[in-house]
């Protein structure tokens, strides 16, 4: 009996410390609220979020306003972290925070200063918000002291250009960050130089050397609802409104990702979601065309005080497509990791069937697929005979999605074999890009490419567009995207036909007598049919000037003379005020690109200084500059016991559980010795992690419905502490009675 009572008490005590088997429901009185229940009946309300986006499009420029409303549905204060994406080219130039009747304009600061201000406000019990960029398309918004029944509204503003892709202007508004696989050893900052033995690593600072984007681990991925309970996530978390105007009529406005209601006249359109609001489980993509586009170049200019900025649009000449007779070595690299399971891998197979069918007899091909490691169909390139193509199709049809996303071995293998004489090597990647070591991948490609071209095809509803676009740029190719949830067969067939050489190559500009400086991008990429690019820079003087765009069309020299009118005053439309911001953002991209593809022009420290200076001078968020806002008044009298939580995310549409760790573990951590689950494993003996529904680390094995931050750093709510205290007192009293009874029995004998 004594042993039974002791075991029962022990079980009761330990059951309060672990929260397995959680599930979630939605509270109807608070839209967006997610209330998690443990098996013992304990309830955990997680921070809720509403996002409203308004996009103003003028020709090929966009101004975007993002309003994030954070709600605390609990009875006690919370600190919240929200992981979210923005367009990879977004120039984020404004932020304000609203709490009650107080509006605070955020200030741009060096990242270490911004974090210090935020930490101080958090400790003092003031409401505060901190915007941090982790990648060009990945951000976190931290909210300090989110008080019950006192929502905090954060408004972000950014501008961007809208590129023409395959003849359409394509506006992309990312809505969710997909999981990121973090290979072993990546995401670590360099050792501190003066303390090499301590094992310490540098904090994120704007004035010290890092060497790559992976200056620290990716932000912890929040709890994901949807592995089993997708219907319980608020289906109306996001609203989108796009206001469009142009000097010529719009001939088409459509979206393949979301149903739209479109109103307005020929020159003014308004597009809104047909259902009013939607769930943020896929990217929003809007395609449009305009009439009368016969010009192949156009200029926008703006004066900011004494400085003049210009943005020059260039499109390739429209010429009949001629068949390229140069033999090609087509290297197909397929992602077959766990996150590709289901619709993504099916779309990849459709693409491959059509791509192989379009190979010519004098072409060669290779097929490489990767998950935990890279495997190749053959030991090198083989000719595109019917027999070899048949073997290739058999391999494609047999592929299954499983394992981690170890892309580095696949890249090494793709470029490892010697080039076949008198052939053009084209490397085709098919992947969702769900990795965290982008810098390592881009540096490796830059080192190994040796004249090859890269075409990156993103497969998924919310792919890593930053990585894929940079892969295409480094490889003098392009990036295209297949959404497997929307007519994947048609998209795969269309893109399989895009494996062609560019129309305009080796592009340069002769500025003649015009005084221009700091032109970006420094290296103008090749242009394909139906695409466009903008060249930004500074100018001096005013009036008419002549320049000449030069390049090669199918190997033949081509030129495009242009007459540019540079203004003395800002008599252009108001939209041109975005040009300085777009120039600065493009310049920052150039400098960051040099970190990933090193040159001898600038040291890493010089590049970081230039990026930081541009961020501060133009009020732009960068890797080393952040927006921070702090309320005047104290809103939380007990900030020291306020727990840290994360805003939960839905599962990316089209993915399966294989993209995330097992749902039964919640947002758990795993030891390196734990048996890896399908979709999260790495090479044997590795400590690879996947930033999905949880982060695999060496920190422990305790699962927590509230996520790693909450499990590691939070303090239980007061009622929880009281319950634990009472239970422990009851246990001690019971054990005292047991020992007393045992003592009496002993003395009586």
pLDDT, position 227? 54
361 and 221 together in one domain = no
Whether residue 546 lies inside any domain: the answer is: no
Q: Which two tokens stand for residue 170?
A: 């394509």
Residue 566, beta-bridge partner list: 543
| Residue 694 resides in a domain | yes
Together in a domain, 277 and 350: no
The pLDDT tens digits for 549-576 are 999 887 788 898 988 888 777 655 555 6
Q: With cut-offs at 50, 70 and 90, classify the pLDDT of residue 682.
A: very low
Average pLDDT of the segment spanning 580-595: 95
Same domain, 262 and 332: no
Residues 6+ apart with CB under 8 A from 686: 183, 184
Is residue 425 one of the residues assigned to a domain? yes
- Note whether 340 and 407 are within 8 A (CB): no
Is residue 225 very low, low, confident or very high in pLDDT (cuts 50, 70, 90)? low
**Stronger pLDDT, 131 or 725, i.e. the higher one:** 131
Residues 6+ apart with CB under 8 A from 663: 227, 228, 657, 693
pLDDT of residue 68: 97
Query: Where is mean pLDDT largest: 109-123, 193-207, 697-711?
Result: 109-123
Are 91 and 621 in contact by the 8 Å Cβ rule? The answer is: no
Higher pLDDT, residue 596 or 11: 596
Alpha-helical (H) ranges within 475-531 are 488-496
- Tokens standing for 359? 């190979």
Residue 293 has pLDDT above 60, yes or no: no
Task: Give the pair of three-digit tokens for residue 296.
Answer: 């192949």
Closest listed residue to residue 318, CA positions, set 510, 60, 527, 473: 527
Q: Is 682 helix (H, G, I), strand (E, B) or coil?
A: coil
pLDDT exceeds cutoff 80 at 510: yes
CATH code at position 485: 3.40.50.410
pLDDT reading at 372 higher than 90: yes
DSSP string across 51-79? EEEEEEEETTEEEEEEEEEEE--SSS-EE
Above 90 in pLDDT, residue 680?
Answer: no
The verdict on 273 and 332 lying in the same domain is: no
pLDDT digits (tens, 9 = 90+) for 686-730: 333 334 433 322 222 222 222 222 222 333 333 333 444 444 444
Residue with tokens 């993915």: 655
Instruction: State the Cα–Cα distance between residues 510 and 561, nearest whole angstrom.
Output: 9
CA distance 356 to 343: 20
Which helix H or strand E contains 272, and what residues bound it? strand 268-273
CB 365 within 8 A of CB 330: yes
Residues 223 and 344 in one domain: no
Confidence of residue 181 (pLDDT cuts 50, 70, 90): confident
**What is the rounded average pLDDT of the residues 181-193?**
56
pLDDT in tens, 30-43: 333 344 443 444 44
Domain count, the chain: 2
**304 — phi, psi (to 5°)?**
-115, 90
Q: Are residues 242 and 343 in the same domain?
A: no
Ranked by mean pLDDT, the top range of 198-212, 263-277, 667-681 is 263-277
229 falls in which pLDDT band (50, 70, 90)? very low
DSSP 8-state code for residue 19 = -
3-state secondary structure 469-480: HHHHHHCCCEEE
Mean pLDDT of 10-31: 33
Q: How far apart are CA 310 and CA 539, in angstroms?
A: 7
Structural contact between residues 369 and 397, judged by C-beta atoms closer than 8 angstroms: no
Assess whether 276 and 130 both reside in one domain. Answer: yes
Range of the domain at 216: 24-281+626-713
DSSP conformational letter for 420: P
Q: Which of 11-15, 96-100, 503-507, 556-560 has the highest mean pLDDT?
A: 96-100
- The two three-digit tokens of residue 540, written as one number: 């001096």
Residue for token digits 């998924």? Answer: 460
Residue 51 near residue 68 (C-beta atoms within 8 A): yes
Q: How many CB atoms lie within 10 A of CB 380?
A: 12
Domain end marker among 436, 465, 496: 496
**CA atoms of 679 and 405, how far apart (whole Å):** 8
- Same domain (yes/no): 32, 137: yes
Q: Within this chain, do residues 342 and 257 fall inside the same structural domain, yes or no?
A: no
Q: 441: closest CA among 471, 417, 465, 466?
A: 471
Omega into 521 within 30° of 0, i.e. cis?
Answer: yes
What pLDDT digit, counting tens, does each position of 725-746 carry? 444 444 454 444 445 544 544 4
Give the mean model confidence (pLDDT) for residues 80-107.
97
pLDDT of residue 234: 67
Given a cut of 90, whether residue 485 has pLDDT beyond it is no
Residue for token digits 């939580």? 645
Pair 202, 334 in one domain: no
Asked if the model's pLDDT at residue 52 lies above 60, the reply is: yes
Q: Between the CA atoms of 481, 482, 483 and 487, what dihedral angle is there, to the nearest 10 degrees?
A: 140
3-state secondary structure of 566: strand
526 pLDDT higher than 50: yes
Is 234 within 8 Å of 27 (Cβ atoms)? no
Q: Residue 640 gets which letter from DSSP? A: G
pLDDT at 216: 46
Residue 600 has pLDDT above 80, yes or no: no
Averaged pLDDT for residues 323-327: 70
Q: CB 569: neighbour CB atoms within 10 A?
A: 7
The percent of the chain in helix, strand and coil, each rounded to the nearest 5, is: 25, 35, 40
> Other CB atoms closer than 10 Å to residue 412's CB: what's the count?
12
Average pLDDT over residues 215-222: 66
Residue 48 belongs to some domain of the structure: yes
Last residue of a domain, one of 462, 496, 530: 496
What pLDDT was estimated at residue 236? Answer: 86
Residue 501 has a pLDDT of 77
How far is residue 450's CA from residue 448's CA, in Å, rounded to a whole number? Answer: 6
Q: If pLDDT is split at 50, 70 and 90, which confidence band does 185 have?
A: low
**247 and 338: one domain?**
no
More confidently predicted of 621 and 202:
621
Quote the distance between the C-alpha of residue 560 and its chain's center: 37
Specify whether the CB–CB gap between 685 and 655 falls below 8 A.
no
Q: Is the residue at 165 inside a domain? A: yes
Cα separation, 723 vs 730, whole angstroms: 11
3-state class of 482 per DSSP? Answer: strand
Residue 112 within a domain = yes
Co-location of 268 and 341 in the same domain: no
pLDDT value, residue 295? 56
411-446 pLDDT, tens digit each: 999 999 999 988 999 999 999 999 988 989 999 999
Lowest mean pLDDT among 90-94, 129-133, 296-300, 543-547: 296-300
- Asked if residue 166 is part of any domain, the answer here is yes
* Residue for token pair 């190979």: 359
Q: Domain for residue 202, yes or no?
A: yes
pLDDT in tens, 385-407: 999 999 999 999 999 999 999 99
Task: Report whether pLDDT(649) > 90.
Answer: no
**CB 223, CB 667: distance < 8 Å:** yes
Q: Which of 480, 496, 512 is the last residue of a domain?
A: 496
pLDDT interval class at 44 (50, 70, 90): very low
pLDDT, averaged across the chain: 79
What is the CA angle 418-419-421, rounded to 5? Answer: 125
∠ CA 657-660-663 to the nearest 5 degrees? Answer: 70
**Residue 177 in this model has a pLDDT that exceeds 50:** yes
Going by pLDDT thresholds of 50, 70 and 90, the confidence category of residue 321 is: low
Question: What DSSP state is assigned to residue 324?
Answer: P
């Amino acid at each position: 009996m004594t042993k039974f009572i002791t075991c029962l008490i022990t079980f009761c005590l330990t059951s309060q410390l672990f929260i397995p088997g959680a599930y979630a429901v939605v509270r109807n009185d608070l839209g967006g609220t997610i209330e998690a229940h443990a098996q013992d009946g304990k309830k955990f309300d997680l921070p809720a979020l509403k996002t409203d986006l308004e996009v103003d499009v003028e020709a090929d420029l966009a101004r975007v306003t993002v309003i994030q409303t954070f709600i605390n549905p609990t009875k006690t204060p919370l600190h919240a972290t929200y992981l979210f994406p923005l367009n990879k080219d977004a120039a984020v130039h404004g932020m304000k925070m609203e709490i009650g009747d107080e509006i605070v304009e955020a200030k741009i600061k060096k990242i270490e200063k911004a974090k210090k201000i935020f930490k101080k406000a958090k400790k003092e019990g003031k409401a505060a918000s901190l915007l941090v960029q982790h990648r060009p398309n990945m951000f976190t918004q931290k909210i300090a002291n989110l008080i019950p029944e006192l929502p905090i509204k954060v408004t972000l503003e950014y501008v961007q250009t809208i590129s023409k892709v395959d003849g359409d202007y394509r506006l992309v508004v990312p809505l969710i960050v997909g999981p990121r696989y973090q290979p072993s050893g990546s995401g670590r900052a360099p050792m501190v130089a003066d303390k090499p033995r301590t094992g310490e690593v540098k904090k994120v600072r704007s004035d010290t050397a890092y060497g790559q984007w992976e200056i620290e681990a990716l932000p912890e991925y929040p709890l994901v609802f949807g592995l089993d309970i997708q219907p319980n996530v608020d289906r109306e978390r996001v609203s989108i409104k796009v206001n469009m105007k142009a000097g010529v009529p719009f001939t088409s406005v459509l979206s393949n990702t979301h149903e739209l209601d479109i109103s307005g006249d020929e020159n003014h359109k308004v597009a809104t979601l047909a259902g009013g609001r939607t769930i943020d489980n896929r990217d929003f993509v809007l395609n449009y065309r305009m009439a009368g586009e016969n010009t192949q170049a156009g200029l926008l200019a703006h004066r900011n005080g004494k400085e003049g900025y210009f943005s020059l649009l260039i499109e390739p000449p429209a010429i009949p497509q001629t068949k390229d007779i140069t033999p090609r070595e087509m290297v197909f690299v397929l992602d077959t990791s766990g996150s590709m399971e289901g619709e993504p891998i099916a779309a990849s197979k459709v693409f491959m069937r059509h791509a192989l069918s379009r190979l010519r007899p004098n072409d060669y091909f290779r097929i490489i697929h990767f998950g935990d490691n890279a495997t190749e169909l053959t030991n090198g390139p083989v000719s595109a005979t019917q027999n070899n193509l048949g073997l290739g199709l058999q391999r494609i049809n047999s592929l299954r999605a499983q394992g981690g996303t170890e892309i580095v071995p696949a890249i090494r293998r793709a470029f490892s074999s010697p080039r076949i004489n008198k052939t053009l090597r084209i490397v085709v990647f098919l992947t969702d890009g769900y990795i965290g070591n982008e810098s390592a991948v881009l540096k490796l490609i830059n080192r190994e490419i040796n004249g090859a071209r890269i075409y990156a095809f993103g497969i998924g509803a919310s792919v890593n567009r930053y990585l894929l676009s940079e892969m295409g740029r480094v490889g003098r190719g392009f990036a295209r995207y297949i959404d497997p949830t929307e007519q994947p067969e048609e998209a795969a067939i269309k893109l399989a036909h895009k494996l062609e050489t560019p129309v305009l190559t080796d592009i340069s500009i002769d500025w003649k007598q015009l005084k221009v400086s700091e032109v970006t991008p420094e290296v103008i990429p090749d242009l394909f049919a139906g695409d466009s690019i903008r060249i930004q820079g500074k100018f001096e003087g005013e009036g008419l000037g002549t320049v000449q765009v030069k390049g090669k069309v199918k190997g033949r020299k081509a030129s495009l003379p242009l007459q540019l009118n540079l203004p003395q005053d800002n008599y252009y439309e108001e939209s041109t005020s975005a040009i300085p911001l777009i120039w600065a953002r493009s310049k920052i991209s150039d400098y960051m690109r040099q970190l990933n593809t090193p040159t001898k022009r600038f040291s890493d420290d010089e590049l970081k200084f230039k990026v930081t200076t541009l961020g501060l001078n133009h009020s732009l968020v960068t890797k080393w500059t952040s927006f921070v806002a702090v309320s005047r008044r104290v809103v939380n009298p007990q900030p020291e016991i306020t727990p840290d939580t994360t805003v939960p995310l839905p599962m990316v549409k089209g993915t399966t559980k294989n993209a995330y760790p097992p749902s039964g573990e919640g947002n758990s951590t795993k030891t390196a010795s734990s048996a890896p689950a399908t979709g999260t494993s790495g090479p044997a003996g590795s400590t690879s992690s996947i930033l999905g529904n949880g982060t695999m680390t060496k920190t422990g094995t305790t699962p927590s419905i509230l996520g790693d931050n909450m499990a590691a750093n939070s303090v239980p709510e007061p009622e929880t502490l009281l319950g634990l205290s009472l239970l422990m007192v009851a246990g001690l009293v019971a054990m005292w009675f047991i020992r007393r009874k045992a003592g009496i029995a002993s003395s009586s004998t």
